[in-house]
Amino acid sequence: MLRAAAPYLAYGIISLTGITSRLRVVGEEHRERLRRAGKGWIYAFWHQRQVLLTYTHRGDGAHILVSRSKDGELIAKVMELSGINAVRGSSSRGAAAATRELLDLAVHGGVIGFTPDGPKGPARQVKPGVLYLAKESGLPILPLASASSRRIELASAWDRFHIPLPFARTALVYAPPITVAATDDLDAKAAELKASLDRITDEADGLVRR
């Protein structure tokens, strides 16, 4: 019963956090430019910072890759309650099927979401999945970071997972899109994406300290 109730409790806490917090957004013009172009894109954000996005991006129509673990089941249900679509799969379970589904969505102009270091880390290290999807689909990667001045950090989690709390200062920061061409060196693109995500994560942290 507790596991069944957990997604609804998490959804309620996230909703309260979003309603009571003061949000600052930087770089939204990058997303709006992609939206006006009428094509899809691929959100990329560190696994540690994903909770706040289930509030700020409600109804965005995005399809987010979520692992098939028990924790992933909880996350997928919270996303469903938030009007965000989950595509289930990870490097160890359901990877091929999830990749095919994401590629099909991308071909039809969908909005995709990835945690490049998820679901098991190492923290803040870009795995090849998001780069492969960007190369095969032609969609740009839109780096995204979030931060909250009041949060719980799970010290036992591999990435010190953040759970934002109500009545906080919160921030979203978008970076310029990154494209991956067929001839690009994927190691170089991974380094470029990591540098972008680290930079805007630091920027988001600075915004909530002010």
At 96 the pLDDT is 66
Exposed e or buried b per residue across 52-64, where buried means at least 16 C-beta atoms within 10 angstroms of its C-beta: bbbbbbbebebbb
At 91 the pLDDT is 52
At 65 the pLDDT is 81
Does residue 210 form part of some domain?
no
Range of the domain at 56: 2-204
Q: What is the domain-level CATH number for residue 170?
A: 3.40.1130.10
At 89 the pLDDT is 66
Does residue 209 form part of some domain?
no
Residue 148 burial class via C-beta count within 10 angstroms: exposed 0-12, middle 13-18, buried 19 and up? buried
Our CA dihedral for 34, 90, 180, 186, rounded to 10 degrees, sits at: 150
Does residue 168 form part of some domain?
yes
Q: What is the pLDDT along the chain (210 residues), one digit of tens a residue?
A: 666 788 899 999 999 999 999 999 999 999 999 999 988 999 999 999 999 999 999 988 889 888 777 777 788 888 889 988 888 765 555 566 777 788 888 777 789 998 999 888 999 999 998 999 999 999 999 999 999 999 999 999 999 999 999 999 999 999 999 999 999 999 999 999 999 999 999 999 999 997
* Axis crossing angle, helix 95-107 with helix 129-137, rounded to the nearest 10: 40
How many domains is the chain built from? 1
Bridging pattern class, strands 169-174 and 141-148: antiparallel
At 135 the pLDDT is 94
